[in-house]
């Protein structure tokens, strides 16, 4: 989980202190609709990779989807821990 937590912190930093050439800062500035479009696009790419490509490509696409989902969480101010708590709740 350390990698996800670290990435989440970087995304929060980009939200608080946008850098001029940062894709993350630009995506956050464009707003939720654009973030959701990217999540939809990446989700389709995960499905296609799972069906037609090798595991390496599937992992790459899942990483892209995960990144964009984290951007959505940051944009909404939802802590990563909220997801962990929900998964833990469901496990019981």
**Hunting for tokens 């990563």 — which residue is that?**
80
For residue 36, the model assigns a pLDDT of 98
- Please tell me the predicted confidence (pLDDT) of residue 40: 98
Specify the pLDDT at position 42: 98
The structure's pTM equals 0.94
Using the predicted structure, report yes or no on whether residue 1 has a pLDDT greater than 60: no
User: Which domains are present in the chain?
Assistant: 2-91 (1.10.287.1080)
Which string of b and e fits 27-41 if b means at least 16 CB within 10 Å? bbeeeeeebeebbee
15-70: pLDDT as tens digits: 999 999 999 999 999 999 999 999 999 999 999 999 999 999 999 999 999 999 99
Q: What is the mean pLDDT of residues 1-10?
A: 92
């Amino acid at each position: 989980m350390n990698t996800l937590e670290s990435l989440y912190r970087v995304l929060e930093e980009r939200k608080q202190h946008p850098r001029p050439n940062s894709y993350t800062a630009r995506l956050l500035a464009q707003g939720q609709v654009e973030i959701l479009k990217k999540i939809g696009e990446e989700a389709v790419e995960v499905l296609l990779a799972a069906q037609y490509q090798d595991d390496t490509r599937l992992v790459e696409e899942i990483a892209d989807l995960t990144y964009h989902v984290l951007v959505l969480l940051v944009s909404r101010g939802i802590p990563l821990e909220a997801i962990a708590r929900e998964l833990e709740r469901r496990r019981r």
